[in-house]
Amino acid sequence: HLLLHTRKKMIQLLFLIICQCAIRNVHSHNISNPNVILLMADDLGIGDLGCYGNRTLRTPNIDRLAKDGVTLTQHIAASPLCTPSRAAFLTGRYPIRSGMAAHSRVGVFLFSASSGGLPSEEITFSKLLKQRGYSTALIGKWHLGMNCESSNDFCHHPLNHGFDYFYGITVTNLRDCKLGQGSVFLKGIGKSISTLMETIGITLVSLATVHLIGFLKIPFRALGYCLLITAILLLALFFFFYNYRYLNCFLMRNHQIIQQPLSYENLTQRLTKEAIQFIGRNTNAPFLLVLSYLHVHTALHASKKFIGKSKHGLYGDAVEEMDWSVGMLLSLAAGCPNSNLQCILMANVHSDSQISRKTNGIFSGKSTNWEGGIRVPGLLFWSGVIEAGTHIDEPTSNMDIFPTVIKLAGAELPSDRIIDGHDLMPLLQGKIIQSKHEFLFHYCNAYLNAVRWHPRNSDSVWKVIFFTPNFNPEDSNGCYDSHVCFCSGRSVTHHDPPLLFDLSRDPEEKVPLTPEMESHFYEILYVIQQAVHNHTKSLHAVPDQLSWNNLLWKPWLQVCCSTLFQSCYCDYESKENLPEMHFG
């Protein structure tokens, strides 16, 4: 059954399909120069797929990938939140190395007019493939920043990170973007405003009291100015969040806003149409396509053809519509039997929802480094190269996509920086039987939260957790009151000695081991502490892209397709241009 969760979490589903597919009038490319398609979606639980045990949600196209390919059972996201994990996915590096791991409480970008973002110095796989002659496109969600100093410098924009074409949103899909689905900010802002009003009220009563008894003379004009300034600030805050969807939820084509605010009507069909058209425009040259769905993150949405069709309400409808879109691309790849085009199809599913209906199977802990927040499904298919029906229970990471794609495209890995990911192909082809990841480091924002150790020639996978989030309510398994679990201060509990689990025997992390239960307890901790020391030495100070200064809304960075006085409204998308698409 699908569960209701109100925690912020990130989950990442990887499908890698390398297939012999067909498109007419296409030049063949050898295996070192294949076309690359990456499909990404937000907020899909590991237990929401038929191939991972769900019996009530229909995902036949995704399930087919599992049947005909390889299933990774220990695929790990570099972060439980979207912004840092996407940075890791694109660069093959821990987010802490690029400044995309926050020292503040907020770990993702929330406003289009923030100045932080993926630094231009970072090398993405899209940049390297573009250098190899690939045509590159990102369709859908970006969430890695846009501008730095002006509303049109586009320093963090996808087109500045190796993509030739962009059609999508630059921030994220929040409930605030769709009328009637509530607000992510309501609880936090409401509590802050309530506290502020209480403080102001107490202060004013106290000042009036001391003034009346003659203890201290307070100029009433000064009090009036204070009240006026406070009222103006509160009105500005109310205006901003009331107009959040106009200012932050918009659709772009390259550098131009084409729909503000974003319309959810037939959105997945529009994204799918753009993907199909991009493939059609690039049949004579290798291409990289990243299709980053807004499904199934809140605000939940689905096209009319899918509304009410699943057994799990709007969330289930959205999952099944996304599966339909995957099927459309698979059909396109297999529809023309007269060509030898080598295709790679990858899908990365990030999950960072506020409230959604999903399940992560036996794992728990959303938006955290418990296994439910970072262990994610992975399906890989390559006909004739990767054996169908295989399960690999070795630690892999979303950072591995970077070196895998780079090597398949015949490009060279950067030699001037540390790449934390590893090429997956030797493991997938059975040339090696153990993952190259002996250690994986799990960060909660910029704070090292946990470490996974898979010793060579051992089946054990040890996991040490240095601190755990304080869930609210206390008897829950998430941070319902704040939507997301924070990483420092009173929001966490530190453990000395740290918690130790053997995931090969206790994947649910139910029983922490003790020296009495595990005879090598302190030896394991020592090895991991040495690994942490070596890892920490490899880090260098970089600008914090998620500092409060870089996170806050800056009016001079706000993009608007009309004017603020016209509520930033425009709609250049034409419903009539939508093609009739098959929904079978």
Any residues with CB less than 8 A from the CB of 369 and at least 6 apart, and which? Answer: 80, 442, 443, 444, 449, 450, 465
Whether the Cβ atoms of residue 137 and residue 290 lie closer than 8 Å to each other: yes
Tokens of 138: 């990102």
Identified catalytic residue from 5, 19, 21, 143: 143
Nearest-angstrom CA–CA distance, 392 and 427:
9
Nearest-angstrom CA–CA distance, 563 and 523:
63
Nearest-angstrom CA–CA distance, 449 and 79:
11
Whether the Cβ atoms of residue 22 and residue 335 lie closer than 8 Å to each other: yes
Of 397, 400, 478, 474, the C-alpha closest to 443 is 397
Identified catalytic residue from 19, 21, 82, 561: 82
**HSE (CB half, 13 Å, CA atoms) of 491?**
18
Rounded to the nearest 5°, which phi and psi values hold at 21? -130, 180
Nearest-angstrom CA–CA distance, 275 and 277:
5
Distances (CA, A) of 233 to 227, 228, 240, 556: 10, 9, 11, 18
Q: Is 143 part of the annotated catalytic residue set?
A: yes
The Cβ of residue 60 has, within 10 Å, a number of other Cβ atoms equal to 14
Angle value at C-alpha 63, between 57 and 67, nearest 5 degrees:
150
Active site amino acids: 82, 143
